[in-house]
Structure 1
Amino acid sequence: MKAPPIELPEKYYLDYFSAMLKHVQHLYGELLSKGEKSFIRRYNKLPEDAQCLFIRLVNRRGCYFRMEKIAYAEIEDQEKALALLLRRKYFSRLHPKHVVELPWVLNTYTKAELTDLCKQVLEKEQLKQVKKLKKPELIIAMIQLTSAADLLKVLKEKEMIVRVGHEEELEMLKFLYFGHLDGDMTQFVVRDIGYIKTEAYDQAKMKALFKSRIEAEDKLKLSKVYREFKYMRDELLLGADQIYSVVFSA
């Protein structure tokens, strides 16, 4: 007889994130930076709704989010939680300083939405140029054909877009816990619904992977370099000479 499906608690991700923080503190308390310790301390003081909204977004792809598209039934007062996270600098509103990340912001829109946006910021002749472009090419064209500052202004007036913060602290905390850059909260989920052995993330059996802060930072840097190399090799399909040129011209 087939076993019934395992149902996770409504706020399972909250438990997972808290468990990760506690375990990292237990194993690496002396290795954590002031910023990481401050992040954990301040996070633990947040109301539950604010914790939930923060974790929900950091667990998603990307760092920019259109808040009118975000809704979670288990968060009782999302508007209040959002306001608090903005005040306490966990999130930041779209700002001119984000201009260098404009491609990431535009990527939160669908191709159809970008096409409509073009009608607000491009001239008629320019619209003809971009009409048949695919989404990645359209994003590049929009940035090239219009003022980035004007584009940001239109986006800000259109809706609330926020950027998630504390990326550096979160990156190191997750790296300390998982030991690699590919670890995320979904690995707790597949553990708890039985798709991987419990021992894989049995905290009672987990041991410190790094003996010093320097070792952890060096391995994190190497992991990031390797991730960049894999992206250039496997996604951009660059050859060895091209990769060498990119790396040593940076």
Structure 2
Amino acid sequence: MIAHSVEDPLYYLHNFRQVLQWVEQRYADLLDDQELAFLQAFVALEQSAQALMVRMVMRKGELFRSDRLDYAEIGDTVRALQPLQALGWVREPEQLSLDQLFALLRKDELAHGFAGQLSRPRAAKSDLFAQLQGLALAPRPLAQWFEQAPVGILQWCLQPLCDRMRLLFFGNLYQDWSDFVLADLGVLRFEQVPFSPGSRALQQRSEVDLAMALHHCTERLEQGEAPAAILDALAQWRSDNPWLARRHGRLLFALGRHCERLGDWDLALTVYGRSNHAQARIRQVRVLERCERWAQAHELAVQLAAAPANALEVQALQRMLPRLARKLGGPAQPRRRTTAPQLIELELPRELAELGVEEAVRQHLAQAGAEVHYVENTLLNSLFGLLCWDAIFAPVPGAFFHPFQAAPQDLHDADFQLRRAALFDACLGRLDDGTHRQAILDCFATKHGLQSPFVFWSMLDQALLEQALACLPPAHLKQCFLRLLQDIRNNRAGMPDLIQFWPEQGSYRMIEVKGPGDRLQDNQLRWLEFCAEHHLPVAVCHVRWGGPA
């Protein structure tokens, strides 16, 4: 399956054809009669009709001015429209509302058409709408709005069907057709994940319908509909499909945040209680605290602290519990003391500031004879991605939908590691038996350039890789990789800026760099605490600029 270059004026049509072929091959048993008939009829259309249809699919909305359907590569639009109209896929809209007219027509067209009903026909378009809105004009066919319509209006009727095709291809509906026709698709290379019937996220037609229903609820939330109404719709939701359950949990979490913004604390608590999102539990404590239900908040926080779900929860609870204890009138609760990292204080020449504080420190430390690299989050993530490539790209159900995915769709889900536990155990086991070095080098050679959610090819070269594998103890790598797997979304960032290697001694040190006025962020603090707990060498370097201002 090859994406076509955008240098071909019909690139969008070629790619759309491939999407339909992919969906038919992979999901034919889940398609209904209308969708199967659409696939057969589309193939039979002339190229110009296919291209015009795809143009409408890719544009926003379902209503179009006929004079705006003008594309050089298609040619005669009137002729291309005829088979689409004959199939009933495109038609004149049965009725149009005043809002729709104002979205489609120009000010001069509206002023002329409504001349007898406007007290100020030369006013701004928004004012024209306000004048007509007061007349409570009901929707009607275009011919009944105007004696002579200024332009033809056409309606594309199969957008819901094409949305289902898009869902089955992308595995979501936040990506649109333009994401498939990015010019980069002709350059980027992707891992070829095997697609079997068992790896599909959706196995029944009812699950397709549920996925669409979840999407519609998301749209309702984005449009500002009352949270209670959306929650009522979600109450009808029933499925044991894990892929759908994760999306349901994310939607509930978004709904809970919206309730918080509205100050509807009780509904927010109800929504979070139903969500399996990784942060739903800590948000419940936040809500109870915000509405000053101190005892309930403290009780729940104590329960969570007994079995925290992740490091982010631990950090949040360490701050919340002393605060809640004070609210309840108890004695001051000292925060848990953490081991302070090694501190480096540097005064560097002010002229180095233009390099950036990290590069300035890198150059300074390199003068002492060590190999120093500015890696931030890239090196450890890349080593993890190379060692665990097979686990990351395993054809787990619901992880991969199409051949152009750089990452599994469940990468940030709480059960990402659990669903691949045996594979990750095997990969990380190489750090115990010493085979990790060759496995990483082999993967670097055979997979070089393929898209990955972890490997930063642009910064990773053979020399840095060899140096890292010579100086980083496998036990330290294993601890870092296990931490990544605990919470990929939050733990893949916040790693120290620099890494310092002493190849002759086979040792290293990580360094977090802070310029004047800069402070450690929460995710950086969590990484520093982790390093201290597991005896990984790390330092924090504070820089001030010397010399004239």
TM-score bin, normalised by smaller chain: 0.7 to 0.9
Cα deviation code 1:147-192 (max 9, x no counterpart): 44678321863221100011221111111111111222211222x4
State the alpha-carbon separation in 1 of the partners of residues 156 and 214 from structure 2. 25
CA contact (8 A) 1:11 1:74 kept: yes
Helix, strand or coil for the counterpart of 1:28? helix
Q: How do 1:81-160 and structure 2 match up within 5 A?
A: 81-95=80-94, 98-99=95-96, 101-109=97-105, 113-123=106-116, 126-128=118-120, 131-132=123-124, 134=126, 138-139=128-129, 141-145=131-135, 147-148=137-138, 152-153=142-143, 154=146, 157-160=149-152
Give percent identity, aligned residues only: 21
CA contact (8 A) 1:14 1:55 kept: yes
In the alignment, residue 221 of structure 1 is paired with which amino acid? A
Please point out which of 146, 166, 169 is paired with 1:177.
169
- The CA deviation at 1:140 is 5.9
State the alpha-carbon separation in 2 of the partners of residues 179 and 89 from structure 1. 28
CA contact (8 A) 1:199 1:205 kept: no
Please point out which of 257, 262, 279 is paired with 1:239.
262
Cα deviation code 1:203-248 (max 9, x no counterpart): 86695221211112112201210121023179xx98366xx8xxxx
- The CA deviation at 1:35 is 0.8
CA contact (8 A) 1:94 1:156 kept: no
CA contact (8 A) 2:98 2:139 kept: no
CA contact (8 A) 1:64 1:164 kept: yes
In the alignment, residue 93 of structure 2 is paired with which amino acid? L
Helix, strand or coil for the counterpart of 2:200? coil
CA contact (8 A) 1:103 1:140 kept: no
- The runs of 5 or more residues in structure 1 that have no matched partner are 1-5, 245-250
- The CA deviation at 1:83 is 2.1
The structure showing larger relative contact order (alpha-carbon pairs under 8 Å, at least 6 residues apart) is 1
Please point out which of 149, 165, 173 is paired with 2:157.
165
State the alpha-carbon separation in 2 of the partners of residues 203 and 139 from structure 1. 53
Give the structure 1 partner of residue 31 of structure 2. 32
Give the structure 2 partner of residue 247 of structure 1. none
In the alignment, residue 193 of structure 1 is paired with which amino acid? D
State the alpha-carbon separation in 2 of the partners of residues 132 and 193 from structure 1. 42
Helix, strand or coil for the counterpart of 2:59? coil
- The CA deviation at 1:17 is 0.7
In the alignment, residue 80 of structure 2 is paired with which amino acid? A
CA distance 1:187–1:127, change in 2 (3 Å): same
Please point out which of 211, 216, 225 is paired with 1:224.
216
Q: How do 1:19-98 and structure 2 match up within 5 A?
A: 19-95=18-94, 98=95
CA distance 1:232–1:156, change in 2 (3 Å): farther
In the alignment, residue 25 of structure 2 is paired with which amino acid? H
CA contact (8 A) 1:119 1:127 kept: no
- The runs of 5 or more residues in structure 2 that have no matched partner are 226-253, 268-549
State the alpha-carbon separation in 1 of the partners of residues 138 and 211 from structure 2. 36
Q: Which has the higher helix share?
A: 1
CA contact (8 A) 1:93 1:162 kept: yes
Helix, strand or coil for the counterpart of 2:91? strand
Helix, strand or coil for the counterpart of 1:29? helix
State the alpha-carbon separation in 2 of the partners of residues 156 and 58 from structure 1. 28
Root mean square deviation of aligned Cα: 3.3
In the alignment, residue 120 of structure 1 is paired with which amino acid? G
Q: Greater CA deviation, 143-152 or 69-78? A: 143-152
Whose Rg is larger? Answer: 2
State the alpha-carbon separation in 2 of the partners of residues 39 and 65 from structure 1. 21
Q: Greater CA deviation, 209-218 or 27-36? A: 209-218
Please point out which of 193, 213, 237 is paired with 2:184.
193
State the alpha-carbon separation in 2 of the partners of residues 72 and 27 from structure 1. 32
Query: What is the aligned residue count?
Result: 224
